[in-house]
Amino acid sequence: MINSNNVSRINIHRILTEQINLSSAGLDTKSTNEIVNLFSEADKEPQKAVQNAIPEIVKAIDEITERLKSNGRLFYIGTGTSGRLGVLDASECPPTFCTSPDFVQGIIAGGISSLTKSSESLEDVSKIAILDLENRNFSNRDVLIGITASGRTPYVLSALNHSKSLNALTISISSVPYNDSKLSNDVDIRLITGPEILAGSTRLKAGTATKMALNIISTSVMIKLGKVYENRMIDLSVTNEKLLNRALGILLDISSVNEEEALQLLKDTNGSVKLSLLIALSGRNINEAKRILEASEGNLRTALIKVKSD
């Protein structure tokens, strides 16, 4: 439903993400080659945007890590493209880092059906966001990353305000400068990518920058939680042939075991690459390795230091 008063009050045409990109004027008259070159040039902007936001991204990673170490959980919330990007990042954590599906969660306005069907009308319904958090028992131990390219989406702002009222850690990701948005959270990440090639279509540069930032945040947090050794994903879930081959490759590359021994270790440890590595690198039996790993809070490098100091 169109409400002219709301349109006038918001002045959405003034928001950076809604402005006209002069470089794509006459877009509908350009050749395919010209269009592709425009997009290729424009997609350099998300990299610059992420680089300019490094201090805020670093702060977010460190603060998220501390919450998760204290039995907190990480939530993404958004609508449309922003919500889908959060759900995508959350859904990749269990197979990549062997986390429980509850540990990192993505919430999109309208639920699962909104992943494939448009539900823009829900962007303006503030109360739904609070219910979506309450249904997941969101608490002050948790972290909420609110994703809103415009910095003004009522559904996301409502979720962030509710989280602040609980003293949860609140982080926002937007694509507008401070004077375009009233966002005020523990960390506000501004990914300034400028007007889109297709005016207002924030699934383009703004979406790309957001995906890049989410990749960095979730992966860095998992590294700091001990789910990576060197540059290998040692907490991956061995659930198919591809992941079995990856697990075997990690064991063969890092330890001195052969393929037969690596397979046996994975069988003995129910597919735990981390535990298999500790056994292979330390020479300890499975029970001792489990004890050492538990005492090291699941960090393989710390566990190996403990072994050397014993």
The alpha helices in 166-240, defined as continuous H runs, are 205-224
What is the model's pTM?
0.90
* pLDDT confidence of residue 41: 96
25-39, 73-87, 119-133, 145-159, range with the lowest pLDDT: 119-133
* 92 has catalytic annotation: yes
Instruction: Clarify whether residues 293 and 185 are in a common domain.
Output: no
Model confidence at 13, in pLDDT bands (50, 70, 90)? low
Number of domains in the chain: 2
* pLDDT confidence of residue 8: 41
CA proximity to 188, closest of 200, 203, 172 = 172
Q: Is a pLDDT exceeding 70 seen at residue 1?
A: no
Mean pLDDT of 92-120: 90
* E-state strands within 148-213: 169-174, 187-190
CATH number, domain at 55?
3.40.50.10490
Catalytic residue among 45, 56, 123, 196: 123
pLDDT tens column, 17-53:
899 999 999 999 999 999 999 999 999 999 999 999 9
Q: Is a pLDDT exceeding 60 seen at residue 286?
A: yes
| Domain final residue, candidates 224, 255, 270 | 224
CATH number, domain at 273?
1.10.8.1080
Q: What is the dihedral of CA 167, 187, 161, 211, to 10 degrees?
A: -120
According to DSSP, residue 14 is labeled G
Residue 233, in any domain of the structure: no
CA proximity to 173, closest of 248, 281, 302, 75 = 75
Instruction: Clarify whether residues 80 and 206 are in a common domain.
Output: yes
Catalytic residue among 63, 92, 261, 288: 92
* E-state strands within 52-198: 74-78, 104-108, 143-147, 169-174, 187-190
Q: Is a pLDDT exceeding 70 seen at residue 74?
A: yes
Q: Is a pLDDT exceeding 60 seen at residue 11?
A: no
What is the extent of the structural domain holding 259? 241-309
* pLDDT confidence of residue 136: 97
Mean pLDDT of 87-115: 94
User: What's the whole-number average pLDDT of the chain?
Assistant: 92
Contact 269, 279 (CB under 8 A): yes
Higher pLDDT, 80 or 6: 80
Instruction: Clarify whether residues 47 and 192 are in a common domain.
Output: yes
